[in-house]
Each structure stands twice: as C-alpha cells, then as structure tokens.
Structure 1
Amino acid sequence: MSREILDVPLANGTPGSQHSVRIIRYGAADARPKAYIHAALHADEAPGLLVLHHLVEQLDAADARGEIRGQIVVVPYANPLGLAQFVNGDHLGRYDLASGRNFNRKWPDVAGELTIRLADRLGSSADDNTVLIRSTIREILDERGAGQPVDSLYTALAREAFDSDLVLDLHCDDEGLMHLFVRPEISAELSDLARELGCRAVFSQGSSGGSTFAEASVEPWIRLAAALPDKVIPIGCLAATVELRGFIDISDEMASADASALLNVLRRRGYVAGQAGLPPAALCEIAGFDACDVVRTPAFGVIVYRAELGERVTCGQPIADIIVPSSLGREARVTVRARTDGLVVTRRLKKLVAANQVIAKVVGQKPLAHRTGYLLED
C-alpha cells in the first residue's frame, strides 16, 4: 500500500501540552496531480469528519487495488486545537479561545511576496511557471514562524495544501442544504463537484476579503497573474469550500454517498484509476454573493419559522416570526420577510437569537441593491 500517516506536532501553548495534526497521504509526496481534502477546520462541524472516515475507507480499498495515480492528502481532523475546546460540556470549535480568531479567517497571504520573488523569474512555459510558483509558495511558508499554536496550525495545513492542484475544505451550516463557495475564475472547472454532491446552491464571487482557507489557496495564482499580465500564469489550484448541509445531517448512509461523490471527482481528474462516469444533472445555477439575501432578525426573541429549508419563496413572503419575550399580544410577534425570490438555503438551528443575528439565507439570481459585505458570518 502507498498510504503514509504523519502526525505533525504543533507549537506548544503551555508546558506539558502537545497537539498534533494527522495527515494521511496516498501516493508519493512529490506525485502529481495533488489533491488536498480536510474536515472540521471549524472543529464543531462534524459532518465532514464522518465523510472523510468513509473516504479514507474507500481510498484504502482503491490503494489496495493499485488504483492511486497521483497524490491525495486527507486531513481527517484539520483542527486539533478546536477539537479540544470543551467549556462546561459545550464544544466551542469555531473560534480559537486563546486568540479569538475565527479558524477559517485570516489565512496566510503569500501573493504579495510571491509577486516580488517571481517578477523576473517566470518564463514562457506555463508548466515550468507552475512548478516554480508552487516551490516558491512552499519556500515562503517554510520561512514563516509560529508564535501561537493557532499560527503553527495554519502553517502546517498551508504547507500541505497551498501547492495542491485541488483543495476541498469541508464545512457545514446550522441547518442547510448542500452548497459550495468557489471563485468565479474556476467555477466552471468545479461544476462536476457541485453536481456530484447534489448542491442546491453554488456561490461565486471575487475575493471577499475574509481570507478563508479556500480563498487563500487559490488567491496567489489569481493575484500573481493580475500583477504580471505579460507572463504565462495559469490558475494552478482549484479550491472550494464545501458546506455539507447542517450540523445534524449525519448518518453513515449520507456520509458514504458524499465520500463516493468525492471519489468520483478524484477519479475524473486522474488521482485514482477507473471510470467515474458522467456527473448527475446540475440542481442549481451559480449565484453571486450579491444575489443571496442574508436574513437577519430585527429583535431579540424566539424564532418561529414560516418557510421550510429548501422552500422557494417570493419577495415579501413571511419567512419567520420573532417572538419578543418583553412584549405582549400581537406586539410580541415581529414578522421577517424575504427580500428576494429564491430558495431557502440555510436556517438557524438554535431558535433563541439576539438582534441582528442571521436566521436564514435565501439565494436568488438577481443582484440585490441592499446586499453589502461578506456573505459568510464571522
């Protein structure tokens, strides 16, 4: 078998403690093409953990049959720091308790340094330039220190992922349908991923400024090409954030099917031998961030939803009522309405909310004048 298991130690936060991140590699460490897939960067989002459990089983079987053709890196739990954050029995895996950082924000930006180092070194061959860009990305990351454990985690994952041909970051929403976030420059090349997974929404827009893991993986290629338009610079990394439905959408049957879909994507791209066949028909069109109505509650209270997950609503249709406990009678019920025609893609799992919290996303096709800012919640 070609499988290799590595446990990469992270910087210590306190004396006597040690975290490590596990990396499972199929194929040689220098083999191409290279795919990188990890789960639970937001460590409380469990669906991806089960999906990768099943994917590893399927890759083990493919490896035993001699079918591994490229390099596939699977990180079954991307965030050992967040996995350990239980406070009074509650798991808090979205933010680093030591620094307050959202684990899927502010990932290393190597684009500026990459441009400086390569401005006079790139040639006329796309293949040669790709090799040089990847090696330079690794050089930049190898030079970076790690002051805090979270910085050590970021560097360990980035070193494995940022030189990959394909990067998939598995997440989930509160209550949600399967959906993707992908840059528009590569959305067509990843359309089979959306179709294999049965995505009900695909969100595509230029850099959001949030520096998510997937963005940081592909952004150096896009920015380098923009900075050096006279050079031949392909986009050498296809990266996507995969939202595996909601927190409670977990079963062996569902996870096994999702893993099989990912394996088909890998087969189609030559990482694994065999025929993947044609992907299923698309269930949605690509939508820009500005076509998604991020529905927020105007008041503190208890949500009573009036629109189901997956329901198509029209502009002005009631989505939910907020029951304000400090008010009485009819005044206690505040109705929240859709501001676009579209599909209810997400809802909130916990029904007691503060004012201005996101309680749903409704994705349409028309840009919305009121939509500003970042689509993902902090």
Structure 2
Amino acid sequence: MQRIDHVLPWSTLGTERKLSVFRFGKGERKAYIQASLHADELPGMRTAWELKKRLNELEEQGLLNGVVELVPVANPIGLGQLLQGAHQGRFEFGSGKNFNRDFTELSEPVSELLADQLGDDPRANIRLIRQAMASVLEQLPPAQSELQGLQRLLLSHACTADIVLDLHCDADAALHMYALPQHWPQWRSLAAHLDVRVGLLAEDSGGSSFDEACSLPWLRLSRRFPEAQIPLGCLATTIELGGQADTGRLEAEAHAEGILAFLAEQGLIGGDWPKPEAEACEGMPFEGTELLYAPHAGVVTFLRQAGDWVETGEPLFEVIDPLSDKATTVCAGTQGVLFAIERLRYAQPGFWMAKVAGRIALRHGRLLSD
C-alpha cells in the first residue's frame, strides 16, 4: 500500500488540511473509490475502512490485477464543519457551495487538445484522452479556494480510472445509485451484489457532480468525434449506501465485499468470489423521480418505509399542525420505489420530505435537488 498525502491550498493561517489517497496494486487498469464527499454522509467512510483492510490483504496475497485508489475521507473541509454540535457537511461554510457540484468540465478542453489526434484505435484513444485530461487539470491556474483545490485533486485521481465509485448516502434511505443509462447493463451486477433497490439513470442531471464529471466527458467526446473510435472509458457511479445512520459494522462489511466481488468480475481482483444473492434492481429514468413536499409546517409521520414499492395515490406521510389541528396526508403522485425519506420530522418550506423513483418522466432540465 502506498499513501499519498496532498496538502490543500488556502488553509487558514496556522492550520493545514490534507487529502489522503491510498493506492493498492499495480497495472494498467485502475479503479478509484472515494467516500463521504458530503462529509456528514458517513456510511461510505465506514465501508471504505473495511475496503482498506481487505485491499491490504488482497495485495499481500498477490490477488490485485490492477490499481485500486481509495480515498476514505474525500472531504476534510466539511468533516470539520460542526455548528453547535450538528454536522454540516453538505455545503462549504465560506461559499455556501455544495461540495459535489461544479467539478471541472473536461470534454471541451480535451477536444481542443486532441481534435486531430483521435483515430480508429480505441485503446490508443483512451490513452490520449486520459493523458489530455490529466494535462488539462495540471495546467489550470492556481486554485482560488480550498474547495476548488480539493475538487481538482479528487478529479485528477479519478479521471484516469476505468471504474469510479463515489460513496454517499441519503437522509433515511434504501440503497440506490446514479449512473449514465449507457452504463446500466454493466452496473446491474454491482446493484445485485449490494442489493440496491433502484438505479437512477440520466445522461446529465445538471450541476457537474463528481461521477458525471468523470463519465460524461467520454460520452460528449464520442459524439463530438463520431468518426473516431472513442469508448465510454470511465464507468462512474454515485452509490447511496442507505441513510445517514447506517454505519453498522455488518452493513459496512457486506458493502465492501459486494464492491470487491464486482471489481473481481471486472478483472481487477483474482480469486474466487461469490455470485450476487439478490436480483439486479430496475434502472429508472432520473427524470421520473418525484420529490414530495409538505403543504404546511408541522410534525411529520411517515406511513411507508424507505425501500417500499408504492402505487399512485398511496398515502406516504402525514403533516400535523398541533396549534390549528390541521392534518394533511401527502400521497404518491407516481408508481415506483420510495427510495428516500427525510431524516428530520418537522416540515419546513422548500425541503423535500420523500422521493419516489418512477418509470415515467416527470421533470426535465436540472434534476439534482441541492
């Protein structure tokens, strides 16, 4: 195992933050795994520790057929953001920016560098594109903030990977994942290994989140240069490992083993690995996700659990105002998987309370709910 520590720029005087990357194995192919980019989403960090131990063992046994880079703490900035005992790891305090938005878009500068060099050899094109991506990031002007420096470091490690896993969680949720629709056939096995309840698929959900900053440039380049043989060279996904409280040891061990079994199927790990026990879930359009809000303030009582299949018109939660005695039941507007519910039980304006993944498109444009 090799440990690489990057010092982040623009730390407060007298302080220093580092991004630590753990590298296992060697070879041409590479997987990159990071956890807790939203720093208050800790199930991924717990799973990453299990992965770190197992990767050490596999490396000692000579079973790694490629490189695996692991970043257990992808956001040291947000990890320190505590306000009166409450962790605030989703938005950077200084700027208010979401830590998982506005990553550098690489397809445009890469296309300018390689316009006359891409040909009919897919492997050669992959090498050229990855070299160009790394070069673009290296030649950017100095980072103007600690957040920008962090994002560039993360992307610089991931953009040269064949497989990228970004481990997150939701508030109170069943396991679900986000990916390009073109990649879903390849992700079905991982979904089965992890017993994911639904895959949410979109080419561009808006906001330039980390996984799309890794995978989407390949799709854009293949369309910009249709005469060249450009594979979708980076298989990237965001995996939501349940809810914020799901940091149990057995859960983390199971998630780690599922991820390793998938990497073995992809040829990065040798040895015998079990087949998935669950069936692959359905991949649904991200445009089909319904966000449900409370119509007024009050205490919330959920009537269904995260992971349940719900029908159109089925009651999902009640909102009760004990001062006016107003009680309202909110029902599903679409058929699908109730994959996430809000952890807090007090309804506030503008904050979603439940998310249902359905088969019919309901929204267009920016799909992310910051």
Per the shorter chain, which TM-score range?
Answer: over 0.9
Q: 2:340: which partner in 1?
A: 346
- Structure 1 segment 302-313 matched on structure 2, within 5 A: 302-313=299-310
- Kindly indicate whether the alpha-carbon contact (under 8 Å) linking 2:165 and 2:238 is maintained by their aligned counterparts in 1: yes
- Partners in 2 of 1:232 and 1:11 — Cα distance? 38
In structure 2, the residue corresponding to 1:121 is in which secondary structure? coil
The equivalent residue for 2:224 is: 227
- Measured after TM superposition, the shift of residue 344 of structure 1 is 1.4
CA distance in 2, matches of 1:364, 1:222: 25
| 2:59 is aligned with 1:63 | yes
Aligned residues: 369
Equivalent residue, structure 1, for 2:256: 259
TM-score (norm 1): 0.94
Aligned residue in 1 for 2:201:
204
> Hey, what does 2:16 align to over in structure 1?
18
Instruction: Please point out which of 67, 79, 82 is paired with 1:83.
Output: 79
DSSP-derived class of the 2:120 partner: coil
In the other structure, the counterpart of 2:2 is 4
- The answer on whether the counterparts of 1:35 and 1:166 sit within 8 Å (CA) in structure 2 is yes
Check if 1:218 corresponds to 2:215: yes
**SS state at 2:4 partner:** strand
- 1:1-378 equivalences under 5 Å are 3-28=1-26, 31-144=27-140, 145-325=142-322, 327-329=323-325, 332-368=326-362, 371-378=363-370
Q: Is the 8 A contact 2:188 2:281 kept in 1?
A: no
Structure 1, 14-23 or 275-284: larger mean CA deviation: 275-284
CA distance in 1, matches of 2:358, 2:106: 34
Cα contact 2:193–2:275 (8 A) shared by 1: no
How far apart are residue 356 of structure 1 and its match? 3.0
Find the aligned partners of 2:355 and 2:72 in 1 and give their Cα distance. 29
Distance 2:105 2:240 in 1: 23
TM-score, length-scaled by structure 2: 0.96
2:165–2:237 CA contact under 8 A, matched in 1: yes
The question of whether the paired residues in 1 share the 8 Å contact of 2:189 and 2:280 is answered with no
Question: Aligned partners of 1:308, 1:21: CA distance in 2, in Å?
Answer: 36
Give the gaps of 5 or more residues in structure 1. Answer: none
Offset from partner CA, 1:158-193 (integer Å, 9 cap, x none): 110011100000000001001110001111111111
Q: Is the 8 Å Cα contact of residues 222 and 231 (structure 2) preserved in structure 1?
A: yes
Distance 2:202 2:34 in 1: 23
Q: Distance in 2 between matches of 1:345 and 1:122?
A: 42
Distance, in Å, in 2 between the alignment partners of 1:88 and 1:277 is: 45
Q: Unaligned 5+ residue runs, structure 2?
A: none
> How far did 1:55 drift?
0.8
Q: Structure 2: how far apart are the matches of 1:151 and 1:194? A: 32
